[in-house]
Amino acid sequence: MPEDTRTRIQDIALRLFTEQGYEATSLREIAEELGVTKAALYYHFKTKDDILTSLVDVRVQELEKLLTWVRSQPRTPRTRHEVVVRYAGLLQERRYVQITRFLERNQTALRDNPTFTRIREALLDITVELSDPDDPPAVKLSRAMSLFALHAGKWLMQGEKLPEEELSEAAVEVALKLVEP
């Protein structure tokens, strides 16, 4: 039962952080929305940062898992293709979509937050693994941009009103072209 409560706290906090902003959301508001006292909330999370960390830890673990995998592979077109496909798959998971939306809307507030820094560092480490050290800068940049294209496709194409699946397929298509320029 406590895990269900933790999950409910995370869900409510994530929604409020996204709607109102991380800095504008208080633990009191989260507790009220949950229908518990602040003391009950403190049993599970002492601070907003604790909630944020619990939300992002799973994402960081998945990125680190992908990083470990890519480091164990040869730097080939096939490996780079698989990295793009695996990362795109991670971005499709419901919780990832919510966390990504939250992070995009709260970049200024989280810029120096250690949790946000861990995500950024893991993602940058993965982009480094997409190229050989002696590759030309334009190739390195193109390959690094392949992963960011998966994110950018979501918000750059908002006006198109495309179904989510079609939008994701288009983003993967572009990302695959970038990873092998």
pLDDT tens per residue, range 132-147: 999 999 999 999 999 9
* Burial class of residue 99 in the structure, from the number of CB atoms within 10 Å of its CB (0-12 exposed, 13-18 middle, 19+ buried): buried
User: Considering the chain, what percentage of its residues have pLDDT values greater than 90?
Assistant: 56
Residue 180 φ then ψ, to 5°: -130, 75
Residue 21 φ then ψ, to 5°: 100, 145
pLDDT tens per residue, range 44-82: 999 998 998 888 888 889 999 999 999 999 999 999 999
Number of H helices, E strands in the chain: 10, 0
pLDDT at 3: 60
pTM: 0.81
pLDDT at 1 over 70: no
Residue 162 φ then ψ, to 5°: -85, 150
